[in-house]
Amino acid sequence: MEHALDVSGLSMTYGSGPGAVEALSEVGLRLARGSFTALMGPSGSGKSTFLNCVAGLERPRAGTITIGGRPLPTDEAEATVFRRERIGIVFQGLNLLPYLTAGQNVELPLRLAGGRVPRDLARDLLEEVGLGDRLHSLPSELSGGQRQRVAIARGLVTRPDVLFADEPTGALDSRSARNVLGILRGSADRLGQTIVMVTHDPVAAAYADQVVFLADGRIAGQMSNPTPEAVAAQMTHLDQLVPASAVPTTTKAGA
Ligand SMILES: Nc1ncnc2c1ncn2[C@@H]1O[C@H](COP(=O)(O)OP(=O)(O)OP(=O)(O)O)[C@@H](O)[C@H]1O
């Protein structure tokens, strides 16, 4: 079966010599299409490094990354095009452009890719995230949670093979966070969108089909059908987990 994301032997080292930091060692992961995966682990365990590598923003030292059945290009220019067309990104640093409306922000990845922008696409996507009436609003006129929902709509606009989200609810109050998580859950269920979300929050992780745990740059465990209680318990025992011997291969819930 072709996976939405297939990563093997992913290793990443920062720096060189005695001060080198091995941020990822031999990480492997396979994700089924339409699956929603939470990536968790202690601070410094390699979560951001993993996301940056698989999203083509950083180049790993070793390993292969296949997205939607196609290898992530190693050439910088080709990787940029691949990322624009095949990968959705909702990262902290990638804020909305303040002088563009919500609708224009959503359309931006398609415009940058030089593609035709279907007339009602931005409105439809904003409706999908509950903001159908804010097409013409500037980011400054929206709440933090609403801005995050626009960022998700923008991440979905190219119908990417995988949507990567880094702490998408980190800065939100619990009501807005639930709203955003419900939208991610709905994108997986209704649109068949494959999602990988980094989070520190067991409640957020429980919205996913499965949780993959990282510790010291290695896969340290996997949990299907997570509950907040089970995730929290696992997090407190992460250092005692035996590293997973097989490559975690996730399936969609109930699949
Ligand atoms: N640009 C960099 N240069 C040197 N070391 C780095 C760099 N980025 C990350 N690291 C190191 O790599 C390791 C993994 O970092 P990473 O940011 O991926 O962890 P994380 O799990 O995302 O942490 P957090 O939850 O705190 O965001 C850490 O030891 C970190 O100090």
Instruction: Tell me the backbone φ, ψ of residue 183, rounded to 5 degrees.
Output: -70, -45
Q: How far apart are CA 132 and CA 128, in angstroms?
A: 8
> Would you write out the chain's pLDDT as a tens digit for each of its 255 residues?
679 999 999 999 999 888 899 999 999 999 999 999 999 999 999 999 999 999 988 999 999 999 999 999 988 889 888 988 899 988 876 689 999 999 999 999 888 878 788 889 999 999 988 899 999 999 999 998 899 899 999 999 989 999 999 998 887 788 888 988 999 999 999 889 999 999 999 999 999 999 999 999 999 999 999 999 999 999 888 765 545 545 666 666 544
Q: What fold characterizes domain 5-250?
A: Rossmann fold (3.40.50)
Mutation test of ligand 1: which of 22, 48, 166 has the most ligand atoms closer than 8 Å to its C-beta? 48
44 lines ligand 1 (CB under 6 A): yes
Distance CA 167, CA 199 (A): 5
Nearest atom (ligand 1) to Cα of 50: 18
Nearest CA to ligand 1 atom 2: 14
**64, containing H or E segment:** strand 62-67
- Determine the longest span between alpha carbons in the chain, in angstroms: 56
- Delimit the domains of the chain by residue range: 5-250
Question: Is the shortest distance between the CB of 45 and ligand 1 below 6 Å?
Answer: yes
ipTM value: 0.97
pLDDT of residue 255: 45
The pTM of this model reads 0.90
130 lines ligand 1 (CB under 6 A): no
